[in-house]
Chains A and B, each alone.
Chain A
Amino acid sequence: MAATPSNAQAISVSPPGSAAAPDAAPSRISWQARLRRWRRTRAAGLVGVAALAAIVLLAIVGPLLIPFDPIKPNPSVITQPPSATHWMGTDQYGRDIFARVAAAGRLDLTVAISVTALALTIGSLIGGVAGYMGGIVDDVAMRFIDVLLAFPAFILALGITAMLGNEARNVVIAVAIAYMPYFVRIVRGEMLSLREAEYAAAAKCVGNPRPRIMGYHLLPNALPPAFVQATLTLGWGILDVAGLSFLGVGIKPPTAEWGVIIGDGAQYINSGQWWISVFPGLAILITVLGFNLAGDWVRESVLRR
């Protein structure tokens, strides 16, 4: 995670006279402090967005720039170092690393987005219902989530893929299940406080049925913190998918996937053929860092409201 500014929690109490605007939202942090803090995270956030833009560009445009197939072996150019022809070198089967890293970018970004969308949707629904209903529904849902949280996300994903079989779809499901509990907890927590909100009472007075109060009035207001979590999950999701693939239980070779490519090159690093693993590794680094920096920025923007 990116470092948060050390004085981020600096609280300045606004002078009593400044509450002139009767409808000003109650806030303990002065807007100047918030602005400073936002500007600082914004600088880092822009770096993150730039990093992500570079990766997306690589994934979309990269394969069009070169004539090499990411899957088909070419025995005549085995393990060649980076050159003008092969910008990132070739692997032990003579496949162009740049072609593979770019193609893997498409897969990894798609998988990360699918994982996050799935975890966000299911987690928010479970968390929303549990937090709003409370009682036995909440108890059952939360004990189930506690069981999931008892395992480290990666180990859980490993177990689920091993169980379901390692296809791309199952990897997405497994990693999504592993990250869903965080969304459940966040949305449930928001819901617990929102259901006591006066506008929930007002919605009831107007004649809204309970499901509509939950789904239409409260859930959308409970989601912003979940969106912040989603930006972090995008990064972690990529790490986990690549990690699973590296271990051989994620995406199967010869599919171009960053973890798979790192796995291909792992045994060659000692003998000096560093490029096979280093370039996909850099791609993962830049992507995860990008998601984290951009995520911090999103969080600041959400909290600023």
Chain B
Amino acid sequence: MTDYPAANAPLLDVTNLQHTFQTGAGRVFAVNGVSFRIDAGEAVGLVGESGSGKSTVAKCLVRLLEPSGGSMRFRGADITHMNERSFRPLRSQIQMVFQDPTMSLNPRLTVRQTLSEPLRLHKTATNGNLEARLHDLMGLVNLDRRLLGRQPHQLSGGQKQRVGIARAIATNPAFVVLDEPTASLDMSIRIQIISLLRRLQDELGMTYLFISHDLSTVRHLCNRVIVMYLGQVVEEGPVEEIFTNPKHPYTQALLSAVPIPDPARRGQRRRIVLPGETPHLTAPIVGCPLADRCPYVMPACRQGTIPFFDIEPGGHRAACLLYAEDRDAVAIDGSAESARVSRSEASGRTGSD
């Protein structure tokens, strides 16, 4: 990979990240060679189904997990295997909001104690202005400052997640990983939290990596999307591009599962159902992770590593041989009749075979 000069380096540069878990049943290859870059000010969505490795990527980024391979650079500095002592100062810059605030807030601590911790540990506030800073934080996340004395069990789910967000932004981090922050909340609260996150990004200039399997919230919050499947990135691009013009068969299937609020429009879309189950990641995948379930599978899909092909100049690219420059070089498995039709629909090209 190219070495970027520190001055105009992206905020975060992840290259070929890998993580394997050792379990009783053997090794699980949760993340297999994930690469992406995030520039300052972006809000990037990381989507994929459960088990696609998106949370594992998040935990590697905040160093809750040790990557088994690849590299992660934050502002040009290699943080891949940095020890905890050296990484601790950087923690004020890289924060995380957890999925379930009920689990991620210490049940014994008051809101005041929870929020004071990052401020004290990183000396963001001194004893003199601690209380003022706490009030600021509560204001930023739209919480009444009287709640500072409460314990988590005295708060509602939405209030708890606001505390979780306040904890994450307490030290003015440059980069915040949002690990499905709305997954455990009601729909009405979910919208409030997403709006809050948007506003905070505007006001504080933070960069987000928003992990979610809820595509509509991703569309609302993010300007770029990375789609993961079985521990690999299959497609990435600007949010509107991905949503209106998905290219990878997996992305197409994923988007076709998004509920449509208007009942009248429901019949107009074809729901793409991929056959089979998500396989277990007990061995490294050769070729495309979707090969066994893809309606357009070709023999070449099961070999080597599938490279990314640029779809549009705006950074939209997909790891799918359907979009290879030299398409005649890859033989297409002609068995799937219906697949061919929808492929031409989906790709906007006429079938070449």
Contact = CB atoms under 8 A, between A and B. Distances in A.
Interface stretch (B13-21, B91-99, B311-319): B91-99
A205 B95 CA distance: 7
B105 interface: yes
B76 interface: no
A201 B189 CA distance: 25
Interface stretch (B41-49, B117-125, B260-268): B117-125
A199 B103 contact: yes
Interface string A1-32: 00000000000000000000011010000000
A206 interface: yes
Given A197-B103, A207-B88, A207-B92, A23 B64 contact: no
A209 B104 CA distance: 17
B118 A207 contact: yes
A202 B189 CA distance: 22
Given A198-B100, A201-B98, A202-B98, A25 B106 contact: no
Contacts of B95: 205-206
A206 B121 CA distance: 8
Contacts of B121: 206-208
Given A206-B117, A221-B106, A23 B155 contact: yes
A208 B167 CA distance: 13
Interface residues on A, range: 10 to 19
A22 B117 contact: no
Interface in A186-235: 197-199, 201-210, 217, 220-221
B102 A23 contact: yes
Contact of A22 (B59, B156, B164): B156
Contacts of B186: 22
B298 interface: no
Contacts of B91: 205-207
Contacts of B62: 205
B118 A23 contact: no
Contacts of A205: 62, 64, 91, 95-96
Contacts of A206: 91, 95, 117-118, 121, 167
A202 B117 CA distance: 11
Nearest to B154: A23
Contacts of B100: 198
Contact of B157 (A23, A198, A202): A23
A25 B122 CA distance: 32
Contacts of B103: 197-199
A25 B157 CA distance: 11
B107 A221 contact: yes
A25 B103 CA distance: 10
Nearest to A22: B157
Nearest to A204: B64
A20 to B, nearest CB: 10
B247 interface: no
B46 to A, nearest CB: 17
A240 to B, nearest CB: 33
Contact of B104 (A23, A202, A207): A202
Interface string B153-189: 1011110100010010000000000000000111001
A81 B62 CA distance: 77
A203 B114 CA distance: 9
A197 B157 CA distance: 18
A183 B118 CA distance: 32
Contacts of A220: 108
A188 B88 CA distance: 27
Q: Taking each of A22, A198, A202, A208, which has the highest tally of chain B beta carbons within 10 Å of its own beta carbon? A: A202
Contact of B105 (A22, A199, A207): A199
A280 to B, nearest CB: 42
Interface string B228-250: 00000000000000000000000
B167 A23 contact: no
Contact of B189 (A22, A199, A204): A22
Nearest to B164: A202
Contacts of B98: 198, 201-202
A25 B154 CA distance: 11
Nearest to A221: B108
Q: Taking each of B109, B122, B184, which has the highest tally of chain A beta carbons within 10 Å of its own beta carbon? A: B109
B109 to A, nearest CB: 8
A158 to B, nearest CB: 39
Nearest to B89: A207
B321 to A, nearest CB: 39
A198 B156 CA distance: 18
A22 B160 CA distance: 11
Contact of B153 (A25, A198, A199, A221): A25
A199 B109 CA distance: 11
A25 B95 CA distance: 26
A198 B160 contact: no
Nearest to A209: B88
Contact of A208 (B104, B117, B164): B117
Contacts of B155: 23
A207 B105 CA distance: 15
B182 to A, nearest CB: 12
A131 B62 CA distance: 24
B188 to A, nearest CB: 10
Interface in A149-207: 197-199, 201-207
6 contacts: A198-B98, A199-B103, A201-B64, A201-B104, A202-B164, A221-B106
Shortest Cβ-Cβ A-B pairs, 3 listed: A198-B103, A23-B157, A22-B157
Given A197-B103, A202-B104, A217-B109, 5 more contacts: A23-B155, A203-B117, A206-B91, A207-B91, A220-B108
